[in-house]
Structure 1
């Protein structure tokens, strides 16, 4: 045991003095010669970090390329993407002559070399990408490790502006156990180069579009230890065409139909039945398209507010129709229109809704008879002869009195009928004016609500 310890100490001191490995000497420019040299000088040291001194940090250069966007799970708050991960590091002291060994690079099995424990901090599932068993070693000692990685990472998704949302998910690359004094993460390609390469090679053309990649070198500070990290921010934009065509446009069509239903005359068409059918159709539409909506998290998506407002407007439109129909068809049960309501609605609100009040019809010259009461009718028709008529004129006078009483009774009934028709006409005009006023308020509220939602969608994307 003591002899082994002494041997290891001597070996470590030798490495510290002469570097991790020496330059390779190839007997011939053949793969066998180069492999034998690597087998002798490099492969036995795969358990040791390839630096001259333990105090020297090893620089790991990293670059990524996004190959595919597999999906975004709003409920699980996860992002699934497929990337190419490129790591580069230098084996200190390793080199060989290209002419003597026959090549400037060679692929060797991954398990023959020391590999850094670089992983992604946001990993939420096992990497199921196909394994890559080889890495490249260049004649200047640079190791090139390029492998595919299927990343299922946690991501804080914001769905408030769905389907016009932009997601910014981070991928934090760094060593799992080595401190920043042992391994230092270095940025490879620039963010612009990685974005261009990713957009050129990306395979998926589905719901999500890659719009930007940002890089942020970072040091994780923990009690007693610091870790070097590289954070990549993958910015994705949802393609909203599917949701606009299947959700927003049909909803706007149904709201437009409900808006134009105010043009239906309630006195000749059952407008309430039409609006009720429209509400039922919209409810069935929302149930069918419910699978397209995201599962809500901390915030309610703005599109859900849009649908709620649309349904609330339809219900309010139905209630308004019931109210107007009750005024117009039940006016015979109401009394005379109150004076204050007559002035407020028929004089002022009629002007606001651009509906001048109708002029009252001229009354016949003999309309003053409606002031004759039933009691006066009996007084007029009493059998109180002023003069004693002749015997042959008595039957004629009795018939005239009966005829007079009948005519006055008919006139009183006609006056009551016209008075009731005039009251009904006034209530009918009140219904028309209120209906037009509520239609205007309905239209203004729709415009304000939809413009506000569109502005929020637009400003949220540019924030």
Structure 2
């Protein structure tokens, strides 16, 4: 109830009487000095102005409004957020009001803040707080309300969940608390901040909402502002996600390169080295999806290289076997030819024919065995290559489906 009354009174700050007197410059200057004299602001003799005003019982009600003007930096590794905010607060003090009609329609004046009691409050999550613009004056309105506006540069701690990076949404808390009067000040939010939802902040982040705790309810000693921001993922899509996906497509396309050629292996190694340059994983306790995405593709390409090496070994083994059997066959044939020449010289025509026949049979058998052994190695290499390619494509489809579901749903 108290905050509702204060809010109604504060809404009338900009009210100007319809019967406002028309004054010239001299009259306005005289009324301005007379108003300062009546409020005891000329000689600073009114010491009671620096006493904490009481709204009810022993409590002082202070209304706050936070406007987020920019997000200058978000450090995921340090878990901090740097922002610039416009912090406004208002409070009521008895016996410092006047009728604007009596003073040429003057409805508000600027007074030095050292002359009056000023509420103190800090952001509990703040690591570094700087005044980007600190005015030595506060605005005193005709209805007894003081309004103070400061522009602050804040660096605050923000616990971030980067699991869905770069499609993540973060909520950072700013807790406003009075240090000297924790149990004597009632903090309330000044006005609705829904207008900030349409605020477009340049840079990587988009502001979704800024809400305050309680929605004009009384909170003793502290007031919580929750800032919800969403990352703009387009930069990471084109600089990280899409290039890694292209490397994966190229690795699948390399299946159509002849495994026996050395170009396939060198091509895959080049892909792996290029992919290692793009690996960027934030240092957080839980590995984000983009880390799983990049590392999984890195491992798949690495396994593809090992499979290519193994298939090449089988192919080379088959060629070596075929070459060795061919050499043995030639040795056998050459040896039998020499033996047949000696037999012919001795006149043993029958022995020559028997030996020659048995030599040809042995040579043919050896040749067939070599071809079968070579064919077995080559066939095993092809089976392994085709099987791995099918399993590889299935794994890629499942991996991208699961990651896409977790990222976007």
TM range (shorter): 0.7 to 0.9
- Counterparts of 2:119 and 2:313, CA distance in 1: 80
Q: CA deviation at 1:93?
A: 3.1
Separation in structure 1 between the aligned mates of residue 74 and residue 238 of structure 2, nearest angstrom: 21
Cα separation, 2, equivalents of 1:255 and 1:329: 27
* Paired position in structure 1 for 2:63: 61
Gap change, CA 1:89 and 1:277, over 3 Å in 2: same
Q: Which residue of structure 2 lines up, in the alignment, with residue 328 of structure 1? A: 315
Between the aligned partners of 1:277 and 1:404, the Cα distance in structure 2 is 60
| 1:330 aligned counterpart, secondary structure | helix
1:38 aligns with: 39
Which residue number in structure 1 is paired with residue 210 of structure 2?
Answer: 213
CA distance in 1, matches of 2:171, 2:404: 22
- CA, structure 1 residues 120+42, in 2 after alignment: closer, same or farther (shift >3 Å)? farther
Structure 1 residue matching 2:259: 3-state secondary structure: coil
Q: Structure 1 pair 268/95, CA: closer, same or farther in 2 (3 Å)? A: closer
Q: 2:207, 2:160 → 1: CA distance?
A: 15
Where 2:194 maps in the other structure, the secondary structure is helix
- Aligned residue pair count: 357
Partner SS, residue 213 of structure 2: strand
Selected match of 1:177 from 172, 177, 180? 180
TM-score, normalised to structure 1's length? 0.70
> 2:194–2:210: 8 Å Cα contact kept in structure 1?
yes
**Alignment match, 1:443:** 393
User: Using the alignment, how far apart are the partners of 2:356 and 2:319 within structure 1?
Assistant: 27
Q: Compare 253-262 and 128-137 and name the one that shifted more.
A: 128-137
Deviation at 1:146, TM superposition (A): 1.7
Max radius of gyration: which structure? 1
1:324 alignment partner, SS class: helix
Aligned residue number for residue 11 of structure 2: none
TM-score scaled by structure 2? 0.79
How far the C-alpha of 1:75 sits from its partner, in A, is 2.8
Alignment of 1:316-395 (within 5 A): 316-331=303-318
In 2, distance between residues paired with 1:321 and 1:315? 10
Q: Following the alignment from structure 1 to structure 2, what is the Cα–Cα distance between the partners of residues 418 and 436?
A: 27
Q: C-alpha displacement at 1:210, in angstroms?
A: 0.6
CA distance in 1, matches of 2:46, 2:74: 42
CA-CA distance at 1:442 after TM superposition:
1.0
- 1:455 deviation in Å? 1.9
Aligned counterpart in structure 1 of residue 292 of structure 2, from 292, 305, 311: 305
Residue 409 (1) aligns with residue 386 (2): no
Matches of 1:212 and 1:263 in 2, distance apart? 51
Deviation at residue 400 of structure 1 after TM alignment = 6.5
- For structure 2, which runs of at least 5 residues remain unmatched after alignment? 1-26, 323-332
CA offset digits 1:272-293 (Å, max 9, x no partner): 232222222322x23xx65xx5
Alignment check: 8 A CA contact 2:69 2:85 kept: yes
- Compute the displacement of 1:231 (Å): 0.6
CA RMSD of superposed structures (Å):
2.9
